[in-house]
């Protein structure tokens, strides 16, 4: 479980996250949604142990601030919103960076884990390509494969492992969006936990179990997707009159931008 309570973060003297609280359970996919600048990435950095915060963030019952870097690396993998790489690394080299930071550093396992990670993101055969010569979506999937090398199993020694993914599908075509979100859901179904920042409300409705909705650094709502994804919450948070509908066959919510068009 990841338990966030009274989380506040100040950056450059400004409070950008204030009193946020929610719980993400292993076995469930939790989506964090909200407008640009609402604090999603800042919260992910706090949960990842990358920035100082006030309040409490507990990862599998341990306060993040009390964990060593190697302990964090064994328990959670982090896909940042943006990853700049300025050296001419190959895909193989970048993906294997994940192997050195996690527990998957046994040489006999390394090849298998790296190959499985690349296959999971549909990049089998890309090992020898230079990262900088890949498309934006391919680069995003390489970064995800690096995370999957670090956290290759959803449960280790009876404890859940976590994927913390900041906009994992923002550069991907619809087919690869489905591939990655399906993978994330499977990771949860096998006992792991996923927290993903999402802008796509329809993918969120389709794949997430829980939804955390932010506005201006504060929590607007948190809970089951069907309870959070409402006309009123969307109006309050995004300031436009979006209408939530449901797919007749299965009742899954969806939101069309058309509903908020004013002319
Ligand atoms: N280092 C910083 N110093 C000061 N303010 C910052 C810093 N980093 C981010 N902010 C501000 O904090 C707020 C939240 O930023 P954050 O990156 O968490 O937003 P976000 O919800 O992830 O947005 P997006 O959807 O655009 O990625 C924004 O107003 C941003 O300008
Ligand atoms: Mg962000």
Chain position carrying tokens 């934006």: 136
- Beta carbons of 255 and 242 less than 8 angstroms apart: yes
Tell me what pLDDT residue 3 has. Answer: 98
Q: For residue 172, list its beta bridge partners.
A: none
Tell me what pLDDT residue 258 has. Answer: 87
Q: What is the pTM of this model?
A: 0.96
106 lines ligand 1 (CB under 6 A): no
- Beta carbons of 40 and 27 less than 8 angstroms apart: no
Q: For residue 61, list its beta bridge partners.
A: none
CA distance 202 to 36: 17
| Ligand 1, atom nearest to 217 Cα | 14
86 lines ligand 1 (CB under 6 A): no
Q: Per this entry, what is the length of the chain?
A: 263
Q: What is the largest CA-CA distance in the chain?
A: 61
Domains with residue ranges and CATH for the chain: 2-260 (3.40.50.300)
pLDDT band at 260 (very low <50, low <70, confident <90, very high): confident
Tell me what pLDDT residue 259 has. Answer: 81
Query: How large a percentage of the chain has pLDDT more than 90?
Result: 88
Ligand positioned closest to the Cα atom of 214: 1
Question: Does pLDDT of 98 surpass 90?
Answer: no
Question: Does pLDDT of 131 surpass 80?
Answer: yes
Helix (H, G, I), strand (E, B) or coil at 109: helix
Question: Does pLDDT of 104 surpass 60?
Answer: no
Pocket test for ligand 1, best of 8, 12, 13, 42 (most atoms within 8 A of CB): 42
Question: Does pLDDT of 39 surpass 80?
Answer: yes
Which DSSP string corresponds to 44-76?
HHHHHT-S--EEEEEETTEEGGGS-HHHHHHHE
Q: Which of 4-13, 87-96, 190-199, 203-212 has the lowest mean pLDDT?
A: 87-96
Tell me what pLDDT residue 86 has. Answer: 78
Give the residue whose CA is nearest to atom 31 of ligand 1. 37
Tell me what pLDDT residue 99 has. Answer: 84
């Amino acid at each position: 479980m990841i338990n966030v309570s009274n989380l506040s973060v100040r950056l450059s003297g400004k409070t950008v996250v204030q009193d946020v609280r929610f719980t993400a359970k292993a076995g469930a996919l939790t989506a964090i949604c909200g407008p640009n600048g609402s604090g999603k990435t800042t919260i992910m950095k706090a949960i990842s142990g990358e920035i100082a915060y006030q309040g409490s963030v507990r990862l599998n019952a341990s306060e993040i601030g009390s964990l060593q870097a190697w302990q964090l690396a064994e328990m959670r993998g982090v896909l940042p919103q943006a990853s700049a790489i300025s050296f001419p690394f190959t895909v193989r080299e970048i993906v294997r960076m994940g192997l050195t930071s996690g527990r998957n550093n046994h040489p006999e396992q390394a090849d298998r884990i790296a190959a499985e990670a690349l296959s999971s993101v549909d990049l089998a055969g890309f090992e020898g390509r230079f990262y900088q010569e890949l498309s934006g979506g391919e680069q995003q999937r390489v970064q995800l494969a690096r995370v999957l090398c670090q956290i290759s199993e959803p449960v280790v020694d009876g404890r859940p492992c976590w994927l913390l993914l900041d906009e994992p599908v923002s550069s991907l075509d619809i087919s690869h969006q489905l591939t990655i979100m399906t993978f994330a859901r499977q990771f949860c179904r096998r006992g792991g936990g996923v927290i993903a920042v999402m802008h796509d409300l329809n993918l969120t409705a389709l794949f997430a179990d829980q939804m955390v909705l932010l506005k201006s650094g504060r929590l607007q709502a948190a809970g089951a997707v069907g309870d959070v994804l409402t006309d009123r919450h969307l109006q309050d948070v995004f300031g436009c009159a979006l209408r939530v509908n449901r797919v007749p066959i299965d009742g899954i919510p969806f939101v069309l931008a058309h509903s908020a068009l004013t002319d």
